[in-house]
Chain A
Amino acid sequence: GAVVSQHPSWVICKSGTSVKIECRSLDFQATTMFWYRQFPKQSLMLMATSNEGSKATYEQGVEKDKFLINHASLTLSTLTVTSAHPEDSSFYICSASSWGTSTDTQYFGPGTRLTVL
């Protein structure tokens, strides 16, 4: 099946710093990638939808200047949390949709646990 990787798997940073998370589709070309945030014991909340070569579409309430998304190729999307604060600590998960097959199937990455001190 399709494989999606994320890097790093976990990161601890100081308040005010920026953190970049990478999401890669390893064996398929992803026309669309999704970024989710999941707080402990809660559901996945869609943050933004990223299409290759175009600007990301952010969900209501998600600050696009704080959560920068770049989808430079069909296999890579990045999420940068700028000026991170403790309230940004969360589990960030990406998923990718596969071109050429059923584009409404999404494959999840393993997630990145961000802790902001």
Chain B
Amino acid sequence: GENVEQHPSTLSVQEGDSAVIKCTYSDSASNYFPWYKQELGKRPQLIIDIRSNVGEKKDQRIAVTLNKTAKHFSLHITETQPEDSAVYFCTRYNFNKFYFGSGTKLNVKP
């Protein structure tokens, strides 16, 4: 189907710890997987993305992994900071449409 399953819905970590958010999908034709961070009342901001021909991508404290065979991808944030607190959405792209996961509210406690 079209849905992207995202877990967990909420995640609370201590500052400095790592956070992992996981998503699964069923449409094997999806070829692009961006992640967005949304602060309350603001627009979603692209934080990292990965294409289907790559298994892993890293940008400083943020990394994304993709297992296309298993149809799941994950966001990893290391050394979390209070400013990382926000709602994170995974998305998949196919046929000129983006499909969003249900979101994960990340709370980083100082």
Q: Which residues of A contact B (CB under 8 A)?
A: 32, 34, 42-46, 49, 91, 93, 95, 97, 103-106, 108-111, 113
Contact = CB atoms under 8 A, between A and B. Distances in A.
Contacts of A32: 96
Interface string B38-60: 00011111100100000000000
A49 B43 contact: no
Contacts of A106: 98
B54 to A, nearest CB: 14
B102 interface: yes
Interface residues of B, number: 19
A-B pairs, 6 with minimum CB distance: A108-B43, A43-B100, A44-B100, A104-B32, A110-B43, A43-B102
A93 B100 CA distance: 13
Interface of B: 32, 34, 41-46, 49, 89, 93, 96-103
Given A42-B102, A97-B96, A105-B49, 18 more contacts: A34-B98, A43-B100, A43-B102, A44-B100, A45-B100, A46-B98, A46-B99, A46-B100, A49-B97, A91-B41, A95-B98, A105-B34, A108-B43, A108-B45, A110-B43, A111-B41, A111-B42, A111-B43
10 contacts: A34-B98, A43-B89, A49-B96, A91-B41, A93-B44, A104-B96, A105-B46, A105-B49, A110-B43, A111-B43
A46 B32 contact: no
B43 A93 contact: yes
A106 B36 CA distance: 11
A7 to B, nearest CB: 14
